[in-house]
C-alpha cells in the first residue's frame, strides 16, 4: 500500500477499489447492479506466490456497507497447500447477499476455499482465467492484473480490520 500518511493510504485504497470496480463493470456490466443493490461489498488487492507445494499471499482492501454508508479498511493474508508455481497480482470483489454475511466478514473475517486457475498476463497483454464462486452468501469475482501462475490449491484466507487506517 502506498502513502506515508493515513489519508494518503486511504486514498490509495479507494483508488484501487474504484479501478477494480470500473474494470469489472466493463468486463461484466451486470456486476454493477449486484454491487449497488447489495447490503455491502469488499474489494482487495492481493499478491500470491506459489512454490511447488505451498502458497502464500497478502494484501489490503476495503469493505463498504451500502446500508449504513460505512467504510472499513482491511488487510488480508492467505496460506495454502497444493500443486503449482508462479506469482500472481490480482484483485478480488466480494459481493455480499445478506447484511449478516457482510457483518460476519468484517468482524470475523475468515474465508476458506480452494482455488484453481491459470494466469499469464502482463499489463494489457495475455489472458487470465479466474473463478467466480458463491460461498457464505457472497459472490466472489477475481481479476488478475499481472503474473504467471498455474496452480490448484486448498487455502485459508484471513481478512481483518486494519487498525491503522480505521
* The total number of residues written for the chain in this structure: 166
Tens digit of each residue's pLDDT (9 = 90 or more) over 53-95: 667 778 999 999 999 989 999 999 877 766 566 666 778 899 9
Backbone angles phi, psi at 18, to 5 degrees: -60, -40
d(C-alpha 105, C-alpha 96), whole Å: 9
d(C-alpha 16, C-alpha 50), whole Å: 24
Q: How confident is the model at residue 157 (pLDDT cuts 50, 70, 90)?
A: confident
Domain boundaries, the chain: 6-161
- pTM for this entry: 0.80
Backbone angles phi, psi at 131, to 5 degrees: -100, 135
Amino acid at each position: 500500500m502506498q502513502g506515508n500518511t493515513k489519508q494518503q493510504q486511504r486514498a490509495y485504497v479507494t483508488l484501487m477499489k474504484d479501478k477494480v470496480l470500473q474494470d469489472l463493470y466493463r468486463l461484466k456490466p451486470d456486476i454493477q447492479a449486484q454491487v449497488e443493490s447489495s447490503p455491502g461489498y469488499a474489494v482487495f488487492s492481493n499478491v500470491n506466490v506459489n512454490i511447488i507445494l505451498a502458497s502464500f499471499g497478502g494484501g489490503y482492501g476495503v469493505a463498504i456497507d451500502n446500508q449504513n454508508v460505512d467504510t472499513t479498511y482491511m488487510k488480508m493474508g492467505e496460506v495454502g497447500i497444493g500443486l503449482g508455481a508462479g506469482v500472481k497480482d490480482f484483485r478480488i470483489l466480494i459481493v455480499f447477499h445478506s447484511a449478516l454475511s457482510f457483518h460476519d466478514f468484517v468482524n470475523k473475517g475468515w474465508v476458506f476455499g480452494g482455488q484453481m486457475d491459470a494466469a499469464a498476463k502482463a499489463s494489457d497483454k495475455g489472458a487470465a482465467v479466474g473463478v467466480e464462486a458463491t460461498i457464505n452468501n457472497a459472490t466472489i469475482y477475481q481479476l488478475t492484473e499481472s503474473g504467471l501462475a498455474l496452480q490448484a490449491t486448498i487455502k485459508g484466507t484471513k481478512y481483518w480490520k486494519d487498525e491503522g487506517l480505521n
